[in-house]
Structures are given as structure tokens and as C-alpha cells.
Structure 1
Amino acid sequence: MPKINEPVSPKAPLDQFGTFEVFVQPKEGKPFQHEGSVHAPDLELAWVLAKETFTRRFTCTSLYVVDTREVYVSPFTEGDKNAYDLLPEITEQAGSKKDFEIYQLTKRGKQHVHVGTVQAVLPQEAMVQAAKLYNTGNIVYNVWAIATAAIRFTTPEEKELWLTLPEKKFRDASDYKGGNKLKEFLERKLS
């Protein structure tokens, strides 16, 4: 039962982990795409959990994660309306510019795909910049802007995590040629 005349207090923080968005690069040279989210206490552990969750059996070559609160979202559209057309006009802002990664949703039921990087002061300004650069006339249902500095990228050293042992380049167990290797080993041992 609520109490009357109680002092106003801040809302208690939730006792659960934060949400982090996961972006994967399916193949070298392909753009990153949104793959899902993970819950974790911090950005580093979110990266580890994303690696374990989204990178099984050569499903991607790299990934990165970002706190969900760092993802700025345009209005969603329906039908033949373009999300870029719904953005409020914003003049160029004073201040130091930073890089923003821009993602677009161009097909319903698919994932947001990275289209490029723009420089802006605010996320809203980044979306307006993206409209000038990446609005090709095709329908875009939604746009995301993420400050590049907020992203936990996979480093070049960590990319080795995706590599397999030189002799294990195949997915099918029979392609490992285990029987042949055993036979060769036994023949060498006997001779």
C-alpha cells in the first residue's frame, strides 16, 4: 500500500546487468550488421559473452559491442516512408566533432547494416549527415547512430580467436582425415 506524505526519492536502480548490442562481420570485407544483444556487468564481459554466443563455427570474422544506451535511434517508418525524411532539420552544431557509425534497416525482418561513418557533434546531427551521404532513395525504415568511441572493437590480435588450427580447416569430421593420419603414424612407428 502506498504511503502518504513520504519524501520523494530517486528510483532504485535495477538489480540486473545492462544490455549491450552485438554487431558481427559475417565475412572479411562485408559490412558489420546488428546480430542481437547480451546482458553483462560491463563492456569487456559483454564482448566475451558476445564472442561465446554469436561466433560459433565460422559464423563471423569479427564482432563489436556497445552499451544499448549509446545507440541513438530514428523514428521507425512503415510502408513507403523513408526514415531520413522524418528526421528534424538540425543546423551544424558548434563543438568538437566525433565519429559516429551509421546503421540502416532497409528490409523488414532483416538486421540493421553498417553503411558508413560520419562526423558530428550530436547523434541527431550525425543522422542528418548520414541522410546527405547514404540516402540513396531506397526506403530506409530506421537509422541508428553510435559514437565510435563508445564501441568495444575486436583488436587485430584478438582476430586470431576466429582462426582454426592449420590442419583443421574443415567443418565435416571426416575431412580431418584422422584415419589416414593414424595409419601414417603407425606405419612410421613400425618401420
Structure 2
Amino acid sequence: MSIESLDPRVTRLHIEAEAEQEQKPQLDQLETYEVFHQQKEGKAFTYAGPVHGANEEIAFLFGKEQYSRRAACTGMWIVKTQRVFVTPYVDDNTSFYDTLKELTVTPEDAEQTYELFHLKKRGKAHVHAGTVTARSYEHALQIAKETLNTPPVVNVWVVASQDVLREEQEKDIWLTTPEKKYREATAYRVQDKIDRFKAERQAQ
């Protein structure tokens, strides 16, 4: 029996298939992490996108290279994808919190802080809405319903604060070295050139 492939060139080679194909080990690929960045001081952290990495530190380096090469942020958070609690999506004109059912909280559960990220509209990015102290992901949503609910909220991500790798203090890591200022889009002053071109056209 020969190997049949989605690539017809492989199929035409009539390569004999082995009786027992060796299975690939689990998790043979790098794990995924979610990247949130702060574009300006005092602004909320916004979801930037995913990266693959061997651990949080490597994921941070990849995230910094991928999403902040042109001084686009002043801080970054990294969270392993598996640690993100995701709620169901609702209609754009309503709030997820309106669909939330009452939860019975077990007093024995230890309290900890959680970070909540709201999606205001499909197609946009999740934005950090605030931090709450709760006994579980579900309990965090219950508290957020009373304190952070500003409709519309299409979807909510909940992350335990302890699962967030934060890089906000070392501000100098975001600075561009003098010899690489060409990387910053602001250095090109494109709008100034456009305004000057328009003025010249109007003067003609």
C-alpha cells in the first residue's frame, strides 16, 4: 500500500507506507500565549495578538518583537492561552453580564485577584476593564457585573492576576536606540509632508 497525500506529486511517487506509522508526541509544538500591550502611559492594556513560545519569558521576547518594534507600547502583559477563561459571545447590542446567572460561591475557595478584559464590539480587540477580588473565574464575573458592567460587552476574558507576566516597570526596554531611530514611524513626519504638499497644490 502506497502513501496517499494531498500533494499529488507525493502520491505519484508510490512510496510504500509503513505498517505502523509512528505517532507524533503530544505538545510537539510550542505553546501559545496571548499578548496585551499598553500603547501610552495610563491607557488600558489592549489585546495585541498571540505568539508561540517555550515559556513566558520567550513569549514576551517574541511578543515585544512582533507587536512593539516601532515603539507602539509602553508596557506588555503575557498570558498562557490555556489560562484565559472565555465567556460565550452575545449580540452586539446587549451585554454578556445580562445573561449571567446567579452563582453560589463556596466560602472555602480562597480569594485572589482576577483581570477582566471586555470586548465591546465584534472585530475589535479585548481591552482591560479592571481587577476584582473573587473566589473563582465565575465569581469574578459576578462581581464584575456589579462594578465593571458598561454595556455593550459582547465577550469577556478572565485571567487570574498571578498568571500574568507583567513588564511595565523597566520602561527603558521600549526605547529605541539612537542608531535605530529610523524604525520609528514618527521620525518620518509623513503628515507634515502631506500638509505641505496640499498647501503647495492650493497655491498653484
Using structure 1 for the length normalisation, give the TM-score: 0.77
Question: Are 1:74 and 1:87, in contact at CA under 8 Å, matched by a contact in 2?
Answer: no
Q: In structure 1, the residue corresponding to 2:57 is in which secondary structure? A: helix
**Counterpart contact for 2:114–2:131, Cα < 8 Å:** yes
Asked if residue 128 in structure 1 is aligned to residue 174 in structure 2, the reply is no
Deviation at 1:48, TM superposition (A): 0.8
Alpha-carbon offset, residue 12 of structure 1: 5.1
Shift of 1:172: 2.8
The structural deviation recorded for 1:101 is 0.4
Cα deviation, residue 102, structure 1: 0.6
Select which of 71, 79, 85 maps to 1:72: 85
Alpha-carbon contact 2:92-2:122 (below 8 Å) kept:
no
1:117 aligns with 2:144: no
- The Cα of 1:91 is off from its aligned counterpart by 2.5
Structure 2 counterparts to residues 153-168 of structure 1, below 5 A: 153-157=166-170, 159-165=171-177
Give the superposition deviation at 1:156.
1.4
Paired letter, 1:156: Q
Cα-to-partner distance string for 1:5-39 (whole Å, 9 max, x where unaligned): xxxxxx95131111100000011110001110001
Query: What root-mean-square deviation, in Å, do the aligned CA atoms of Structure 1 and Structure 2 show?
Result: 2.2
Q: SS of the counterpart of 2:147? A: helix
Q: Which runs of 4+ in 1 moved over 6 A?
A: none
* 1:98 equivalent in alignment to 2:99: no
Paired positions, count:
161
Distance 1:58 1:85 in 2: 38
Deviation at 1:88, TM superposition (A): 2.7
Deviations 1:136-178 (A, max 9, x none): 3x21100111001001100513x211123579696239xxxxx
- Is 1:172 equivalent to 2:188 in the alignment? yes
Give me the whole-angstrom Cα distance separating, in 2, the residues matched to 1:155 and 1:32. Answer: 11
Q: Which amino acid aligns with 2:82?
A: R
Any idea what SS the aligned residue of 1:76 has? coil
Comparing 91-100 with 54-63, which one deviates more in the overlay?
Answer: 91-100
CA change 1:79–1:32 in 2 (3 A) is closer
- Structure 2 unaligned spans of 5+: 1-23, 190-204
1:35 corresponds to 2:51: no
- Of residues 121, 146, 160, the one that matches 1:107 is 121
Gaps of 5+ in 1: 1-10, 174-191
Name 1:147's counterpart in structure 2. 160
Q: In 2, distance between residues paired with 1:146 and 1:69? A: 10
- For residues 89 and 68 of structure 1, the distance between their equivalents in structure 2, rounded to whole angstroms, comes to 27
Amino acid at match of 2:94: K
Q: CA deviation at 1:42?
A: 0.8
Find the residue that maps to 1:161 and give its secondary structure.
Answer: helix
Q: Percent identity?
A: 40
| 1: CA distance, partners of 2:130 / 2:119 | 13
* Aligned position for 2:74: 61
